[in-house]
Structure 1
Amino acid sequence: MDQTQKNDDFSSARWTRPKRFDRNLVVIGAGSAGLVSAYIAAAAKAKVTLIEANKMGGDCLNFGCVPSKALIKSARVAHQMRHADHYGLEAVEPNVPFSAVMERIHKVIAEIEPHDSVERYTGLGVEVLEGYAKLIDPWTVEVVLNDGSTQRLTTRSIIIATGAQPFVPPIPGLAESGYLTSDTLWERLRDRPTAPRRLVVLGGGPIGCELAQSFARLGSEVMQIEMAPRLMMREDEDASALVEASMKADGVNVLTNHKAVGCGVNGDEKWIEVEHGSVRRRIGFDEIIVAVGRAPRLKGFGLEELGIKVDRVIETNQYLQTLHPNILAAGDVAGPYQFTHVAGHQAWFASINALFGDLKRFKADYSVIPWATFTDPEVARVGLSEAEAKEKNIPHEVTRFGIDDLDRAIADGAARGFVKVLTVPGKDKILGATIVGEHAGDLLAEFVFAMKHGHGLGKILGTIHIYPTLAEANKMVAGQWRRKHINGFLLSLLERFQTWRRG
């Protein structure tokens, strides 16, 4: 008996399946995974209901990707003004009306909001309900609407796409001293005339690094605390070292190997106590941002009552199905990656399997997953890192091109970073690529495409790249690989041939 049959038996043992259904699909959560799932269902002419308790667009639009990138842009402009002499102009210390910076961020959100709005999705044929959803049985969803009324829907399939929220570690005194997260800072700091004077950022991952660097560039005295031995532990050491050096140059005081052990308030003075080795010290602050990671939203949806296992994420099979095959999960709540683009990627598999799984199911494909951290310099990666390849004993070659040798990077004053590619020994098949530098997230797309469609470095080398562009770095690294693999015997034959041709 396969797992699906076991799941079906478990379902029928406790609940009675309706003879008819109100909907083909109910989607819980209107972030990236939920929006894409509902969109696909409507395009397939299914009757679909999308349920959202908070804001359409989810975390990415309202609290994450969009506002943080708007903040990064403002901070970058301030940095360029401060270093205008690098471009032959007069450097000036920027006046930063912080409330205006925050207002711009909210305008950016408002400009993008219509893409994810109730009106747009209603126009696409999706029924949108604003309220809290709970599973009553494998085919019934109860919705407590924001107006206080209650509605029950029966549906053939359900997709759980409830996203994630900032994880707040149990540090003694943290709640009492008050803290910000990537979800709350956009409103809490909205009306401040200046950036927080003394800011502690707790966490050295992508979110922590992006925020720490941005606030430092906008005038805050930033102290970044990370328990690990270095920032951005998921990336190779050479990549994180470049980012850390840049952040320190921007004035961020980076404390790695420091563990936060307590917080408190003495009068008007807030403090955090950190431990480094056996030494403890207290650091005063005006605001603290907790950015140590995000935890999936798993509670309150009735999953446990249906026997669906939830630990770190909702347990699913390769088809994104839970214990009950008609209940699927996608996005941060399903793991294994917490990226908006992966959530949308999973949504295709979840929605197709939910609507057509009785005919054919598709396994979620994680073979080529890219990501980027939008610090300055940016760090972007797809596939294996060098550290992962060594740790897993995967045979590989490393080819590296320094962006400091690229004409356009030199002209732009952005001559730092590198492109590093891992390949199968003796072959040009790409196992992974890491780019550190200006627009690394954009430049990575060529390697993502190549890996997805089985193209090697030879294909990249044989492709014309516009001169002068940063994209030439990709061709340059392919050229480096080719030079390392020239056949010496053939070269000697060529030399003899050319000598013979001269007479």
Structure 2
Amino acid sequence: MTSRLTPDICIIGGGSGGLSVAAAAAAFGVEVVLVEKGRMGGDCLNYGCVPSKAMIAAGKHAHAMAEAPRFGVSAGEVKVNFGKVHDHIHGVIAAIAPNDSVERFRAMGVTVLEAEAKFVNRTTVMAGDTEIRARRYVVATGSSPFVPPIPGLDSVDYLTNETLFERTRAPKHLIIIGGGPIGMEMAQAHRRLGAEVTVLEGARALGKDDPELAAIVLDAIRAEGVALLEGCQVTSVEKRGKTGIRVSYEGKAGAGVVDGTDLLVAGGRLANVEGLGLDEAGVAHDRRGIKVGANLRSSNSRVYAIGDVAGGLQFTHVAGYHAGLVVQQILFRLPAKENRDIIPWVTYTDPELAHVGLSEEEAARRHGGRISILRWPYAENDRAQTERRTTGLIKLVVDRKARILGVSIAGAGAGEMINMWALAVANSMTLKDVRGYVPPYPTMAEIGKRAAISYYSPLTRKPSVRWIVRLLRRFG
């Protein structure tokens, strides 16, 4: 028999964004139904951020052992047990999973339905044999790997991020299609764990980041032995022998082939909109996701969309940010709008690549070219020298009033350093604010203070300023 629920909020999707809305609403005593057809925790916990960073950590340890002689330490030959790397990855997932579990959310008072959800009209969702009529709906179904229509791809056993971390055997030669953050992170991690790696990118690797800083990261990855072919369009994939894979491509220098043992497809992601009954609900959408306004509301006023499915920046922390905006509107009737200019992101390669705010190009366009660019290299930082992590720099973009518009960092610890700059951008802080704080010595974060102070260096050479200094000296 069909049961009926009439909650205040129905959330479709138990990933980061959906769980954040459910937890916040339940904390205020609001009746919430959460519908999830797959694993609680979504892509981030099970197939994305958590397992990938766990694998990167394993690769870092292997690389640190190989680098040890530079510090006068002999660690012996590096040996990688890929089966135990797999166990490490899934041990991390298991440690975090209870925070996202069905049991925990039911204990909070959330009604969790483990079923597939589908709108049947503008006001009703069916989840299994349960009919839901909620005051508001939040769609948080995330995204899935995009598999390009490459001839022959369906004839081989290719990997995506959803299957990569199930492997207990190291690939001998991993071919990666896609040189974005996922592709480059996994390329370096697998190379450090002993695999030969080739990356094929149709345009420019790490193309969404500042080219100057991306080049620093890509040069470092190439130096570790990853073969990176940019501007190459994959034309076909085929089996080679019993276990091999051949990828054919066309590039600027002509056609070529790469022979490997394993293939990872990392060519982007598609919003999960299929099967939700969005047309029946009157929710406008396309292949990029649900169409929403700055307030994350869809064409159906009852329905909000957050995270990857909202068609914008695809990061776990964006889903959390969206959750807060939606809770503010649904529970407190307070207006809220997404501001993508304050969203930071990090690519967890080594060196790391982090960014927040406007890029140099965006800032120049919005401010008519009236901007200043400030840089400071890691090589001029004492802590970086002690750690032998001197590759990289920080780049600040400021307007005529010294307001911080954007910051990019390529180098060790960039992902941690960007936190302070994200705060600065979100609060429209200026270089004067940065000049006034004292960083502890020796820390790599000092590069930010040095870059900020460099903005004032031209003042030391101005005749008028020097005249004032001489004048003031006369008063004792």
Does the CA contact (< 8 Å) of 2:344 and 2:356 recur in 1? yes
Q: What secondary structure is seen at the aligned counterpart in 2 of 1:209? A: helix
Superposed CA deviations along residues 371-409 of structure 1, whole A, max 9, x for unmatched, are: 110000001001111233345544210010111110111
1:372 to 331, 340, 346: 346
Alpha-carbon distance in 2 for matches of 1:397, 1:174: 47
Alpha-carbon distance in 2 for matches of 1:394, 1:68: 39
Alpha-carbon distance in 2 for matches of 1:451, 1:248: 32
Deviation at 1:267, TM superposition (A): 3.0
Q: CA, structure 1 residues 416+206, in 2 after alignment: closer, same or farther (shift >3 Å)?
A: same
The range that moved more, 432-441 or 485-494, is 485-494
Q: What secondary structure is seen at the aligned counterpart in 2 of 1:435? A: strand
Q: CA, structure 1 residues 364+385, in 2 after alignment: closer, same or farther (shift >3 Å)?
A: closer
Deviation at 1:492, TM superposition (A): 2.4
Is 1:238 the counterpart of 2:222? The answer is no
Specify the alignment match of 1:17 in structure 2. Answer: none
2:224 to 240, 250, 254: 250
Specify the alignment match of 2:73 in structure 1. Answer: 89
Q: CA, structure 1 residues 281+366, in 2 after alignment: closer, same or farther (shift >3 Å)?
A: closer
Q: What secondary structure is seen at the aligned counterpart in 2 of 1:184? A: helix
Q: What secondary structure is seen at the aligned counterpart in 2 of 1:207? A: helix
Alpha-carbon distance in 2 for matches of 1:394, 1:141: 50
Alpha-carbon distance in 2 for matches of 1:485, 1:177: 63
2:186 to 191, 204, 211: 211
Does the CA contact (< 8 Å) of 2:174 and 2:263 recur in 1? yes
Alpha-carbon distance in 2 for matches of 1:26, 1:497: 69
Does the CA contact (< 8 Å) of 1:161 and 1:333 recur in 2? yes
Specify the alignment match of 1:6 in structure 2. Answer: none
Specify the alignment match of 1:465 in structure 2. Answer: 439
Does the CA contact (< 8 Å) of 1:298 and 1:314 recur in 2? yes
Counterpart amino acid of residue 447 in structure 2: A
1:396 to 359, 371, 374: 371
Q: What secondary structure is seen at the aligned counterpart in 2 of 1:350? A: helix
Superposed CA deviations along residues 293-349 of structure 1, whole A, max 9, x for unmatched, are: 111100001002223211111011222111111111000000311010011100111
Deviation at 1:415, TM superposition (A): 1.2
Deviation at 1:46, TM superposition (A): 0.9
Specify the alignment match of 1:493 in structure 2. Answer: 468
Counterpart amino acid of residue 246 in structure 2: W
2:233 to 250, 253, 259: 259
Deviation at 1:123, TM superposition (A): 1.6
1:324 to 300, 323, 335: 300
Alpha-carbon distance in 2 for matches of 1:386, 1:92: 45
Deviation at 1:117, TM superposition (A): 1.0
Does the CA contact (< 8 Å) of 1:56 and 1:116 recur in 2? yes
* Aligned-pair identity (%): 38
Specify the alignment match of 1:131 in structure 2. Answer: 115
Alpha-carbon distance in 2 for matches of 1:277, 1:102: 38
Counterpart amino acid of residue 186 in structure 1: F
1:280 to 237, 255, 271: 255
1:431 to 402, 405, 408: 405
Structure 1 unpaired stretches of 5+:
1-19, 145-149
Specify the alignment match of 1:349 in structure 2. Answer: 325
1:416 to 350, 373, 391: 391
1:184 to 150, 163, 166: 163
Is 1:50 the counterpart of 2:50? The answer is no
Superposed CA deviations along residues 54-108 of structure 1, whole A, max 9, x for unmatched, are: 1111111111111111111110110111111121212533100011011100000
Specify the alignment match of 1:108 in structure 2. Answer: 92
Alpha-carbon distance in 2 for matches of 1:155, 1:266: 54
Deviation at 1:278, TM superposition (A): 6.5
Is 1:334 the counterpart of 2:310? The answer is yes
Specify the alignment match of 1:153 in structure 2. Answer: 132
Does the CA contact (< 8 Å) of 1:48 and 1:126 recur in 2? yes
Does the CA contact (< 8 Å) of 1:158 and 1:354 recur in 2? no
Deviation at 1:124, TM superposition (A): 1.5
1:453 to 421, 427, 430: 427
Structure 2 unpaired stretches of 5+:
none
Specify the alignment match of 1:478 in structure 2. Answer: 452
Specify the alignment match of 1:5 in structure 2. Answer: none
Alpha-carbon distance in 1 for matches of 2:292, 2:256: 44
Specify the alignment match of 2:143 in structure 1. Answer: 164
Q: CA, structure 1 residues 319+122, in 2 after alignment: closer, same or farther (shift >3 Å)?
A: same
Alpha-carbon distance in 2 for matches of 1:62, 1:431: 35
Alpha-carbon distance in 1 for matches of 2:177, 2:110: 40
Mapping for residues 5-84 of structure 1, pairs under 5 Å? 22-84=6-68
Paired residues in the alignment total 469
Alpha-carbon distance in 1 for matches of 2:282, 2:459: 56
Q: What secondary structure is seen at the aligned counterpart in 1 of 2:356? A: strand
Alpha-carbon distance in 2 for matches of 1:408, 1:277: 42
Superposed CA deviations along residues 337-366 of structure 1, whole A, max 9, x for unmatched, are: 101001110011123323444xx4322333
Alpha-carbon distance in 2 for matches of 1:87, 1:446: 31
